[in-house]
Amino acid sequence: MDIETDLVVIGGGMAGLVAGSVAAEAGLDVVLLRKGHGATAQSSGAIDIIGYVPGAATYFMNPVEGLHALSAMCPFHPYSALGRSKEGLPTDPDRVVSRVRGSVQWLKDKLSGSCGALKGDLEENIQAISLLGTSKPTCLVQETMWNDIPPSHDSVILFAGLRGLPDFNPSSAVKAFMANRPYGEEGPRKAVSCVLDVAPSGRPFNLSQIEIARSVDHDAGLSALANSLEGQVLKTGADYVAVPPILGVEHARENRRQLEEKTGAAVFELTAFPPSVPGLRLQTGLETVFKKTDGRLLAGHEATGVRKDGDLIQAITARAPRRTMEIRSTAVVLASGKFLGGGLVGDERGVRESLMGLPVVDGDLIPVSDSRPQRLTNVIPLSPEGHPLFGVGLAFDSSFHPVGADGSPVAQNLLAAGSVLAGYNYAVEKSGLGVALATGFAAGTNAAAYVKGVQ
Amino acid sequence: MSDDEAYKAVSATLDQERIIPFKTDELEVVRSAEKCVNCGLCLNHCPVVRAVGVDRFSGPRSIAVELSRSPPDFWSTADKVYLCTSCGTCREVCPYNVDVPDIVSMVRARIFKQRPDLVPSSLLAVRETIARYSLAFEPWEDPNEKIESRDARLQAVALPFIQDRVVRGAEVLFYPGCQAEERAQEVKEAAKFILSYFGVDFTLLEEMSCCGLPSRLIGDDETSRSLAARLREKVSSLGVKKIVTTCAGCTSNLSDMSVRDNWGVPVYHLIEFLAEEVGLERLSEAFNEDSRAGEVLITIHDPCHLIRHTSRQIADHVIAILNLIPNVTTVASGVADSCCGGGGMVGYHSRDVADAVVAHNIEAISATKAKQLVAPCPLCTAQIERNLFNAGSAIQVDDLAVFIAQRLPQQR
């Protein structure tokens, strides 16, 4: 059945859910179309704001510093667009910081008290430790992933693996962790490992993180973990315990509190590869925020067509597995993601925007619609410059309208947010979810202002 | 040798080589399997993985990248591939919408043809029933007993009997599906009552026959296709313009068949038909005319075959309709869209798995203060009712058609 609404959001990751929630909070009727889960659900659950400028080998000590540097160096970066006035350049770095800060604070407030509640702020980039024992700079982590390792040289950190969980090898993580500690840095000087015997269904083999996390959400699973861990903490004298992110899908914070109470050590989750449990908690948390604003989430619905009349989009065609419908809307936010989310498609013909065939450019605004994806890769697979391919997307103005080759908006009522935008290379910058959050917030706010303006 | 001769010579060896060529309508499913990037996101969501772990059921990821590619012997595949409940949760979260439920049906179809010894015997028994009666359940031996049972059920839910009718050229075919025809007869009767209340020009089939979904899930592709073809013939000879059903599985399967085989007749679930064709306004008037039912706090279960195989919009219709009924308050269980374990024919051979899946729902439903659960699907209703009962819960379970019929004025 056809639907009429104020705003259609295309895409259900960080950018889309934030844009939809912000617009719904401003009083709009919002329908969000989500084809499947994208990069947000695949994330480690930590939210990067800005870690590096492209080409740099050392990371920013804090995102405020990073946003200032970016505003000066990368005028076409989505963050920089936040600092521009309607008239365009130049970028005001303080405005960039204040708008990013605003969206971060909004998200922290919304997720506060939930299983995916966030900790951290723009004043510091923290080092999140991974399952491999390596670390990366990030800004916000879920509370259960936070470690308050104090500057003490004689503390002990225990990497606790689980028997039957192939994703994590605690002894090799210890080696990598110690090898990667910069000389002279404070923190634990002794790292040890153990393997816990916690078999949720009686089998100590072929386990996945999700089934352990779900079992820890129940009393029996939690006490099995606590008992097993308690013995190891006693044996090793550990002050800190690093576990894979399995502390729960619904009650992770409470589970962690109980574990700390029982063992007397500080327990935290490592960051993991996709599909991680914290990624699931972040996705679920954002969806809950959106639903609480009375936003309507149509999962399993893919936007397949657009009806445009003059310089306005009139309707979006959505396809469910066995139904097709037209959604007439006053405004549209395109937050369809990049290659994983499906917003962009790259093949032998070039790189295309998948819904409307909008022009695609690279980080320097050079059109790449006809470039094969291979042409946009670097010969060195892992370098601080990264691959230009990950910086391609839609060109946009300072209100986040996608623009055509002539620099004017494709449609007055079309906005874009998140990784479908050009100009930021999340993989090298460590900025992915941060840009999605800040641009989603901006696009949602702008969409609400537009709809109210025409009503 | 001409091209034609060569084609014939090669096709003749296919059986011997145990190769089953893909049908044209299967190619999309095959391409969908090729899209899997093996990310494993589906494992975080699969209800069977949640219930029994990846060791017993290796999950949708494994079906797409491993089990779909294990021919010709299938011995390593069969014990896993029959545990999929076909709920489609994985397809809905998958970044590439890999069509795991249909991949499962295709793999089962190949096992059925080449290694029938690996098909669970209880599924072969269902197959026998379908082959003999064209129904998924053995029909009543004595037609009078069927009538007695129907009347007893009508009395239990306090609904009047509406005469069966078969009318050529009617606007709507009401298709109850096997479960409401042979078992949950009150659902069929409730739907007839609702349709006649709103003056819908409807007909029944002269002789009920299965839509083919169970055969498809068993892997008996041939029977599934012949049942669909037979139903199509009946539909076209009746000359109806729309098909309305109360079964979630029939809704998605018939919608699929109707497009695949160009029936030219749209298929609606009763809930969709009420929301879209009858209209909320008329429904609202009717509910308010003579509200005889008392206050009740209910919770909802949304069948996978409606929300994940057809459209999530139907779940919104359910809420919209329930909101119109006086004295009815709905409370969220948080698991309304979680698979009940009743699908994919899993319960026929691995009851423990089906019940482990629904345990998640039962826990959350029991934690609500709801007195009643409604679901627009007789299969989900039966699965949840049985498990709530076994868990010692006093929550009453009803098909949504019955719940709605009970809240319409009984006399016009």
Distance CA B118, CA A294 (A): 49
To which residue do tokens 């908690």 refer?
A281
Look up residue A251 and give its two tokens.
């009650």
Residue A184: the pLDDT is 61
Residue B5: the pLDDT is 93
Name the residue among A123, A121, A116, A124 with its Cα closest to residue A143. Answer: A116
The sheet carrying A156-162 orders its strands as A190-196, A156-162, A240-243, A266-269
What is the pLDDT confidence band of residue A55, given thresholds at 50, 70 and 90? confident
Cβ-based burial of A284 (10 A; exposed 0-12, middle 13-18, buried ≥19): middle
Residue of A nearest to B360 (CA): A214
Percentage of residues in chain A having pLDDT higher than 90? 84
Residue A102: the pLDDT is 98
Whether the CB of A322 is below 8 Å from some CB of chain B: the reply is yes
Residue of A nearest to B59 (CA): A208
Q: Is the dihedral of CA B350, B355, B356, B360 positive or negative?
A: positive
Are B44 and A203 an interchain contact pair (Cβ–Cβ within 8 Å)? no
Name the residue among B227, B183, B172, B228 with its Cα closest to residue B205. Answer: B172
Residue type, B331: V
Distance CA A432, CA A423 (A): 12
Distance CA B249, CA B244 (A): 12
Whether the CB of A338 is below 8 Å from some CB of chain B: the reply is no
Whether the CB of A321 is below 8 Å from some CB of chain B: the reply is yes
Look up residue B148 and give its two tokens.
């007695």
Angle A432-454/A14-25 helices, nearest 10 degrees?
A: 30
Residue A183: the pLDDT is 63
Instruction: Please report, in angstroms and rounded to a whole number, the separation of the first and last CA atoms in chain B.
Output: 75
Residue A271 DSSP one-character state:
B
Whether the CB of B359 is below 8 Å from some CB of chain A: the reply is no
Are A201 and B255 an interchain contact pair (Cβ–Cβ within 8 Å)? no
Distance (Å) of CA B142 to CA A61, B132, B162: 82, 17, 21
To which residue do tokens 């609202």 refer?
B284
How many C-beta neighbours within 10 Å does residue A203 have? 13
Residues lower than pLDDT 50 in chain B:
none
Residue A182: the pLDDT is 66
Residue of A nearest to B94 (CA): A36
Q: Is residue A101 scored above 90 in pLDDT?
A: yes
Residue B71: the pLDDT is 67
Residues A300, A321: contact at Cβ < 8 Å?
Answer: yes
Q: Is residue A339 scored above 70 in pLDDT?
A: yes
The values of phi and psi at residue B268, to 5°, are -125, 145
Instruction: Compute the average pLDDT of residues A317-334.
Output: 98
Residue B292: the pLDDT is 66
Residue A148: the pLDDT is 77
pLDDT tens-digit readout, B340-374: 999 999 999 999 999 999 999 999 999 999 999 99
ipTM of the complex: 0.94
For residue B317, which residues of chain A lie inside 8 Å, CB to CB? 1
For residue A210, which residues of chain B lie inside 8 Å, CB to CB? 43-44, 49-50
Distance CA B67, CA B70 (A): 5
Name which residue leads in pLDDT, A153 or B376: B376
How many CB pairs lie under 8 A apart between chains A and B? 108
Whether the CB of A246 is below 8 Å from some CB of chain B: the reply is no
A47: β partners? A140
To which residue do tokens 């996709």 refer?
A274
Whether the CB of B80 is below 8 Å from some CB of chain A: the reply is no
- Helix or strand or coil: residue B6? helix
B267: β partners? B243
Look up residue A233 and give its two tokens.
């903490």
For residue A42, which residues of chain B lie inside 8 Å, CB to CB? 39, 41, 95
pLDDT tens-digit readout, B213-233: 999 999 999 999 999 999 999
- Which of B41, B50, B100 would best serve as a mutation to test chain A binding (most A beta carbons within 10 A)? B41
State the nearest Cα–Cα gap between B190 and chain A, in angstroms. 24
Percentage of residues in chain A having pLDDT higher than 70? 97
CB-CB: which of B55, B256, B275 is closest to A203?
A: B55
Whether the CB of A281 is below 8 Å from some CB of chain B: the reply is no
Q: Is residue A200 scored above 80 in pLDDT?
A: no
Q: Is residue A151 scored above 80 in pLDDT?
A: no
pTM listed for this prediction: 0.95
Whether the CB of B54 is below 8 Å from some CB of chain A: the reply is yes
Least confident of A119-133, A185-199, A271-285, B229-243: A185-199
Name which residue leads in pLDDT, A56 or B282: B282
Angle B221-238/B248-260 helices, nearest 10 degrees?
A: 80
pLDDT tens-digit readout, A400-446: 999 998 989 999 999 999 999 999 999 899 999 999 999 999 999 99
Instruction: Compute the average pLDDT of residues A171-190.
Output: 81
Residues B91, B308: contact at Cβ < 8 Å?
Answer: yes
- Which of B38, B42, B44 would best serve as a mutation to test chain A binding (most A beta carbons within 10 A)? B44
Q: Residue A40: which H helix or E strand, with range?
A: helix A39-42
Question: What integer best gives the mean pLDDT of chain B?
Answer: 94
Residues B131, B376: contact at Cβ < 8 Å?
Answer: no
Name the residue among A210, A267, A252, A274 with its Cα closest to residue A45. Answer: A274
Distance CA A196, CA A212 (A): 12
pLDDT tens-digit readout, A9-47: 999 999 999 999 999 999 999 999 999 999 999 999 999
Whether the CB of B41 is below 8 Å from some CB of chain A: the reply is yes
